[in-house]
Amino acid sequence: MTVLERLARLAVWTIGLAVCVYLMVPLFVTVAVSFSASPVFDLPPPSWSLRWYEALGSKRGFLPSLSLSVQIALISTGISLVLGTLTAIAVVKGRFPGRTAISTFVVSPLMMPGLVIGIALLQFLREIGYRDAYTGLILGHVIVTLPFIMRTVQASLSLFDFTLIDAARTLGLSYPKAVVKVLVPVLSPAYLSSGLFAFLASMDNYPISIFLTDARNKTLPIQVLEYLEVRPDPTIAAISSLLILLTIIVLVISDRLVGLRRMTDF
């Protein structure tokens, strides 16, 4: 190895590790603040306590918001899994014109301004006289979650040999049964990683939700920002730390099931 190569490798490793630390900073801050006894976000905390975790249950609005966000994220991810798989099969297997256009179209909400999608959807729903905030949120969140599923499932399907389904049918399975028995197991890693990304994207969505919520249906990010603007205290850090813990559990399970490395087939 020449000196130049050594230097380049050193630079790559240094930047890589620095990026890791940089990415983890907000998490460390959040967890540290959540165990702080001080209400004013002093870092490092003057002393430690569990008071913000104890406060979680008594703070009105947080648990309902968390539960609403989880429901919306689960339902919209579920709908997107179905719609995304069907569209991905059509795009990968079909031989009709415009397949690239369909794929670009379905993935495009990922790159579109969320606020604009939110306003457009709100005005459309108002125009047709639809007023239910809960289903409105689901309708909006399917738009955000679908691109994640579509991208990953399409990439995964492009490596799939569709003649396997014909083989299963020759062996006596009906078409739907053949799809379930052959295709779904092949797609499960893609489902796991894209489902996780879609779920987290929905949980975190602010720009679309802000236009679709009402007083009784506030998703977690909206509740949190409102709370931060009025009187911030580390209760938010406590609820976020619980979400970090939950994600760690999901990641450990995913690692056992399919391996972390496949999670990045993004």
Partner 1 sequence: MKTPGEQKDRTWILAAPGVGYLTVLYALPLGLLLLASFRLPEAFSISAYVDFFGDPFNWYIIWNTLRSALLTTAFCLLIGYPAAFALAWSKGWLQALFLVSLILPLSVGIVVKAFAWTIVLRSDGVLNQALMALGFTDEPVRLIFTETGLIFGAVNVFVPFMIMPVYSVIRLLDPRLAEAARTLGAGPLYVFWKIILPLTVPGIIAGIAFVFSLALAMYVIPTLLVGERFMTLSQQIARSYLYLRNETLGSTVAVVLLVFSLIVIVASQWLAGKVRANT
16 binds partner 1 (CB under 8 A): yes
163 binds partner 1 (CB under 8 A): no
Q: Classify 36 as helix, strand or coil.
A: strand
Which residues, other chains included, contact 97 with Cβ-Cβ below 8 Å and sequence gap of 6+?
Answer: none
89 binds partner 1 (CB under 8 A): yes
Q: Which of 105, 132, 167, 174 forms a contact with partner 1 (CB under 8 A)?
A: 105
121 binds partner 1 (CB under 8 A): yes
Q: Classify 214 as helix, strand or coil.
A: strand
Residue number, 50 or 115, with CB nearest to partner 1: 115
Name which of residues 43 to 72 contact partner 1 (CB under 8 A). 43-44
253 binds partner 1 (CB under 8 A): no
Q: Which of 94, 161, 170, 175 forms a contact with partner 1 (CB under 8 A)?
A: 94
221 binds partner 1 (CB under 8 A): yes
220 binds partner 1 (CB under 8 A): yes
Asked if residue 227 lies in contact with residue 166, where contact means CB atoms within 8 angstroms, the answer is no
**Nearest 10 degrees: Cα torsion 194, 197, 202, 207:** -120
- List the structure tokens of 11: 């630079």
195 binds partner 1 (CB under 8 A): no
Interface stretch with partner 1, choices 47-55, 60-68, 170-178, 195-203 (CB under 8 A): 195-203
Asked if residue 207 lies in contact with residue 143, where contact means CB atoms within 8 angstroms, the answer is no
Q: From CA 186, how far away is CA 180, in angstroms rounded? A: 10
CA 115 to chain centre: 18
Residue number, 168 or 193, with CB nearest to partner 1: 193
What angle, rounded to 10 degrees, do the helices at 3-34 and 235-257 form? 130
220-244 burial code (b ≥16 CB/10 A, e <16)? bbbbbeebeeeeebbbbbbbbbebe
Residue number, 50 or 245, with CB nearest to partner 1: 245
114 binds partner 1 (CB under 8 A): yes
Q: Classify 202 as helix, strand or coil.
A: helix
257 binds partner 1 (CB under 8 A): no
Smallest gap from residue 146 Cβ to partner 1 (A): 7
Q: Which of 120, 167, 184, 257 forms a contact with partner 1 (CB under 8 A)?
A: 120
90 binds partner 1 (CB under 8 A): yes
130 binds partner 1 (CB under 8 A): no
Residue 44: is the preceding peptide bond cis (ω within 30°)? yes
